[in-house]
Amino acid sequence: MANISSPVSEPHAEPSVLARALKEAFFAGLVSLGLFCLFVGVETYQNINNELVWRMRWGLLAVFVGVAAVGRFLNVAFIRPALDKRKLAKAKSGILDVSEDKGFFHRHFLKIALIALLIYPPVSVMLRGVQGSLLLVDNFGIQILIYVMLAWGLNIVVGLAGLLDLGYVAFYAVGAYSYALLSTHFGLSFWVLLPLAGIFAALWGIILGFPVLRLRGDYLAIVTLAFGEIIRLVLINWTEVTKGTFGVSGIAKASIFGIWSFDVGSPSNFAKSFGLPMSSAYYKIFLFYVILFLCMLTAYVTIRLRRMPIGRAWEALREDEIACRSLGINTVTTKLTAFATGAMFGGFAGSFFAARQGFVSPESFVFIESAVILAIVVLGGMGSLTGIAIAAVVMVGGTELLREMNFLKAIFGPDFTPELYRMLIFGLAMVVVMLFKPRGFVGSRAPSAFLHTQKNVSGSFTKEGHG
């Protein structure tokens, strides 16, 4: 590769980098061959005589080795020099990268996001047709927004008040079962039961809050975890009411304020009233706007509460509980209101979930759901609504996207099911994000009041709370 005739100064670097990259790629390939030759290359299976035999999977092994070698080559030859060059240019210019004037997109991010969400269902109908929009609106839109709402609700407890709650899904379950049971037994409508479910969940939040008031940190986390399991086990075992693991099915759909309904047999069916072809997509589009409204309500209340004395007391509680008490703040009621408010939004989301699925069972409220919601809050940046929304899109949207990635079968073979790697990728993503952004996507917090200029508080000053 070395070109002797070329001038010594500038082009000398280029071939040596490429040579080095080739060399390192070769070694990376060699190492991965050694590593994967037994792990991936050898497959054992039972033949027709029930004997255990093995065969080599040369193709798959080649893919693994190739990915490692090419990845290493690209990294050494192109990615790293480019990063170094950028860093050098930045250092040379001598200007710190904290300029105040952000780009148009950055400044109007919230407005753009809201408009994009509002036109999302019509656009997806235009792109994929009424029936085809189901996937986009339901699997992506509604699914992500439910998690956004849950994470925003949990954010009040974990992000603002600093109380680590590992059993948040319990309130989600309370909301879902409140709607499911009250609507099947008493025939109450969605719009009556939505606030009721929120109130029930808030009550459970207070019930949970009382015994754990004295606990902090790890101890609080364990008790809330246990509380989440208690609710789930009650749902499983109290079969007369909840029908146990069979779950409650045939839950009534939500209607458009009782004017149009989405039941197929109903005379005021939405599609019939407007002379449209029958499709479940209209219901999903309607639900999309309902959950969007609920999310906006959660965000609005959170933003308002942060500027109220109670919101400031929550954040002060996260920073230093003893100092709070020395300032005359009743930490008992402050913690209880945080639990209750967070639980209330969980309850809203739960009753929405029941109306969307038409079926609830204890299986939807397992610990992993709490963990995912908490992971979204932590990844997004505790306390930051925007960061949490982004984290929910990445995490939930990402896992939904995995289901659609059928082209991966072409690489890894027809047995490869991408969604099985959901948790692996979820965990990997968390590790990577926490390494590069230890305070989450949005680490800074916006102060709730200012005298001269509003300056965001860097994440290095805020505390995570002690429980």
Partner 1 sequence: MVTGTATTMSKDPILKVEHLSMRFGGLMAINDFSFEATRGEITALIGPNGAGKTTVFNCITGFYKPTMGMITMRQKGGKEFLLERLPDFEITKRAKVARTFQNIRLFSGLTVLENLLVAQHNALMRASGYTILGLFGFPAYKKASLASIELAKYWLDKASLTDRADDPAGDLPYGAQRRLEIARAMCTQPELLCLDEPAAGLNPRESLALNTLLRDIRTDTGTSILLIEHDMSVVMEISDHVVVLEYGQKISDGNPQFVQNDPKVIAAYLGVEDDEVDEVIAEVEQVAATVGHGTGSTGERP
**Shortest distance (Å) from residue 295 CB to partner 1:** 18
For residue 225, which of 430, 38, 370 has the smallest C-alpha distance?
370
**Shortest distance (Å) from residue 328 CB to partner 1:** 3
| Residue 451 binding partner 1, by CB under 8 A | yes
Taking a C-beta distance cutoff of 8 angstroms, is the pair 235, 242 a contact? yes
Q: Could you give the C-alpha distances from 315 to 184, 303, 443, in angstroms and in order?
A: 40, 13, 15
| Residue 106 binding partner 1, by CB under 8 A | no
Taking a C-beta distance cutoff of 8 angstroms, is the pair 298, 152 a contact? yes
Beta bridge partners of 43: 55
Binding residues for partner 1, how many (CB under 8 A)?
Answer: 39
CA distance 133 to 126: 8
| Residue 322 binding partner 1, by CB under 8 A | yes
CA distance 142 to 146: 6
CA distance 285 to 283: 5
Among 342, 370, 462, 467, binds partner 1 (CB under 8 A): 462
Among 326, 410, 414, 424, binds partner 1 (CB under 8 A): 326
CA distance 163 to 314: 10
Applying CB under 8 A, the span of 48-56, 109-117, 224-232, 444-452 interacting with partner 1 comes to: 444-452
| Residue 325 binding partner 1, by CB under 8 A | yes
H-only helix segments in 135-189 = 143-155, 169-186
For residue 152, which of 331, 349, 332, 445 has the smallest C-alpha distance?
349
| Residue 264 binding partner 1, by CB under 8 A | no
Q: Which is nearer to partner 1, 341 or 370 (CB)?
A: 341
| Residue 310 binding partner 1, by CB under 8 A | yes
With vertex at residue 156, the alpha carbon angle to CA 155 and CA 157, rounded to the nearest 5 degrees, is 90
Helices 331-357 & 281-306 angle (0-180, nearest 10): 170
| Residue 308 binding partner 1, by CB under 8 A | yes
**Shortest distance (Å) from residue 203 CB to partner 1:** 17
| Residue 320, token pair as written in the block | 């230093």
Among 114, 323, 405, 434, binds partner 1 (CB under 8 A): 323
| Residue 284 binding partner 1, by CB under 8 A | no
Among 34, 309, 427, 438, binds partner 1 (CB under 8 A): 309
Among 21, 292, 329, 340, binds partner 1 (CB under 8 A): 329
CA distance 316 to 161: 8
Q: Which is nearer to partner 1, 322 or 424 (CB)?
A: 322
| Residue 98 binding partner 1, by CB under 8 A | no
Among 319, 357, 425, 441, binds partner 1 (CB under 8 A): 319
Among 139, 266, 331, 386, binds partner 1 (CB under 8 A): 331
Q: What is the DSSP string of 22-70?
A: HHHHHHHHHHHHHHHHHHTTEEEEE-TTS-EEEEE-HHHHHHHHHHHHH
Q: Which is nearer to partner 1, 332 or 368 (CB)?
A: 332
**Shortest distance (Å) from residue 466 CB to partner 1:** 13
Taking a C-beta distance cutoff of 8 angstroms, is the pair 193, 349 a contact? no
Q: Which is nearer to partner 1, 6 or 454 (CB)?
A: 454
Among 216, 312, 422, 466, binds partner 1 (CB under 8 A): 312
| Residue 458 binding partner 1, by CB under 8 A | yes
Q: Could you give the C-alpha distances from 383 to 210, 283, 318, 442, in angstroms and in order?
A: 24, 33, 11, 9
| Residue 85 binding partner 1, by CB under 8 A | no
Applying CB under 8 A, the span of 138-146, 186-194, 299-307, 416-424 interacting with partner 1 comes to: 299-307
Task: Determine the length of the chain.
Answer: 467
Beta bridge partners of 457: 445
**Shortest distance (Å) from residue 303 CB to partner 1:** 11
For residue 75, which of 31, 17, 3 has the smallest C-alpha distance?
17
Q: Which is nearer to partner 1, 163 or 396 (CB)?
A: 163
Among 304, 404, 423, 432, binds partner 1 (CB under 8 A): 304
Q: Which is nearer to partner 1, 90 or 304 (CB)?
A: 304
For residue 285, which of 311, 260, 321, 320 has the smallest C-alpha distance?
260
Residues that bind partner 1 (CB under 8 A): 301, 304-305, 308-310, 312-313, 315-316, 318-320, 322-331, 337, 445, 447-455, 457-458, 461-463
